[in-house]
Amino acid sequence: MASGVGSRFGGDKLMVDFGGRPMIDWVLDATSDLFQSRIVVTRNQDVKDYCEKKGIEVIYHEMPGQNDTVRLGVEHMPGSVKGCMFFVSDQPFLTKTSIKALLDAAVLSPDKIWRVAYKDRVGAPVYFPVSLFSELKELPFDKGGSVVIKNHINKVETVEVLSEIELEDIDTKKDYELWGRLLCQ
């Protein structure tokens, strides 16, 4: 998901330099070679162009809500999938190891909702089984997958990440400066 407007950041953040490359590149690299297909849903022309240059399928849109981003992504899933995993594009410390562990758990129990966690803190990415796609397509305006998670709390399982920093996303300039300094150490 790369459709946010970056209001808390003060503008678009996915193409800002973070550790020598665009912010979105961290998640794109962490997810490479793990999935049958990857689709980036965005309102940002620069993100669209960047992803297309990397050979990643892009759904470009101008719809206003987070629900639109989720719906568009789900509608474009190949018919053969057993589920899909949603990522935010501003989570630069997420590791391929944690994503692989989450994917492995989903393969073993594909009817569950799987999400990453560190101790009691849960976060993204989140895997949803195909049986919940219709609910994901019908989310209330500007709501995301958390609505479906709350409706099916008995289906939710977690996979522990190696470090809490993997759950951090960059929402504000303060976050950007703090985590950027840490990256440079």
Sequence spans of domains, the chain: 17-184
Residue 161 is predicted with a pLDDT of 97
Distance between first and last Cα of the chain: 29
Residue 53 is predicted with a pLDDT of 96
Residue 10 is predicted with a pLDDT of 56
CATH superfamily of 17-184: Spore Coat Polysaccharide Biosynthesis Protein SpsA; Chain A (3.90.550.10)
Query: From the first residue on, what is the mean pLDDT of each consecutive set of 10 residues in the chain (185 residues)?
Result: 52 85 95 93 94 96 91 90 93 96 97 97 97 96 95 98 93 82 65
Residue 2 is predicted with a pLDDT of 42
Residue 11 is predicted with a pLDDT of 62
Angle in degrees, 0-180, between the axes of helices 45-53 and 23-31, rounded to the nearest 10 = 40
Task: Classify residue 55 by its DSSP letter.
Answer: T
Residue 171 is predicted with a pLDDT of 84
Residue 33 is predicted with a pLDDT of 94
DSSP assignment string, 81-143: -SEEEE--S--TT--HHHHHHHHHHHHHSTTSEEEEEETTEEEEEEEEEGGGHHHHHTPPTT-
Residue 54 is predicted with a pLDDT of 95
